[in-house]
């Protein structure tokens, strides 16, 4: 995945190209999110994402991705992860949204050789208080992490910001999956855990671009992978939420590339 190499710092022109790709990602998530409602299947969301992506002249970062080993190529352009599914849920005609669900939607694409990546968790109709608090804590944890993306800080400041915020609200952060650098490849160095010690880790230099993606559980942080080799669920089958932005370190502070 490129995690073992040194971080590849990007120029202003390269960051601008990454911004173009990420704006397509944001458009897809906007249009898919507008469709999220009881009775809609995740396959319908997949078809909408494909149509928007093709209209923008982009190509999927997920479809056909094969990490190797016994894991088959991913069969969709979206990851649709409902309720206890943490990440990597596969869209299906049989997976129909119900009132009170939460749905995490992750999308990535390439435009002119540069990758964009972002995720949001949507309420399906009216959700209960616990689910609403989970979504709020996860999105706020991401916001706290983004605030730390300034020259002179270290990656541990980003990771610690997520963990501190989430755990103070009574939730747990997933440790099996992490954020990552992003550029010409969907996964580059460095890894971006959602837990850690402030003041430690990779220095945040101008031109560093990473995808920060808190995955937060109501219960324990433990993960189980289902038989399809992709779908990751909470071991205790309690709810999980996922928010993600691609963010660049600049002299003017954090630049959120995937924010419309």
Residue-range domains of the chain with CATH: 12-256 (3.90.230.10)
For residue 258, how many other CB atoms are within 10 A of its CB? 26
Per-residue pLDDT band at 2 (split at 50, 70, 90): very low
Report the pLDDT value the prediction gives residue 256, as an integer from 0 to 100.
98
**How confident is the model over 102-126, as a mean pLDDT?**
98
**How confident is the model over 151-172, as a mean pLDDT?**
98
pLDDT above 80 (res 205) = yes
pLDDT above 60 (res 26) = yes
**Percentage of the chain with pLDDT > 90?**
96
pLDDT above 80 (res 3) = no
CA max distance for the chain? 49
**How confident is the model over 88-99, as a mean pLDDT?**
98
| pTM for the model | 0.96
Residue 250 · residue 152 · CB < 8 Å: no
Mean pLDDT of the chain: 97
Per-residue pLDDT band at 69 (split at 50, 70, 90): confident
């Amino acid at each position: 995945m490129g995690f073992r190499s040194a971080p590849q710092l990007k120029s202003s022109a390269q960051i601008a190209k990454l911004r173009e790709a990420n704006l397509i990602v944001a458009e897809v998530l906007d249009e898919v999110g507008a469709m999220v409602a009881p009775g809609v299947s995740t396959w319908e969301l997949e078809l909408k994402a494909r149509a928007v992506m093709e209209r923008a002249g982009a190509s999927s970062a997920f479809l056909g991705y094969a990490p190797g080993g016994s894991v088959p190529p991913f069969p969709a352009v979206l990851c649709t992860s409902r309720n206890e599914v943490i990440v990597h849920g596969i869209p299906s005609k049989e997976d129909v949204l119900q009132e009170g669900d939460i749905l995490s939607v992750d999308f990535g694409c390439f435009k002119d050789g540069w990758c964009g990546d972002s995720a949001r968790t949507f309420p399906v109709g009216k959700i209960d208080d616990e689910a609403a608090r989970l979504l709020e804590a996860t999105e706020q944890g991401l916001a706290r992490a983004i605030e730390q993306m300034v020259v002179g800080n270290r990656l541990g400041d980003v990771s610690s910001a997520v963990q501190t915020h989430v755990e103070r609200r009574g939730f747990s952060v997933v440790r099996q999956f992490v954020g990552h650098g992003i550029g010409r490849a969907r996964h580059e160095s460095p890894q971006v855990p959602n837990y850690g010690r402030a003041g430690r880790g990779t220095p945040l230099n101008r031109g560093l671009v990473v995808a920060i993606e808190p995955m937060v559980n109501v219960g324990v942080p433990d993960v189980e992978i289902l038989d399809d080799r992709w779908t990751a669920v909470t071991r205790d089958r309690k709810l999980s939420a996922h928010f993600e932005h691609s963010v660049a370190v600049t002299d003017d502070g954090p630049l959120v590339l995937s924010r419309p």
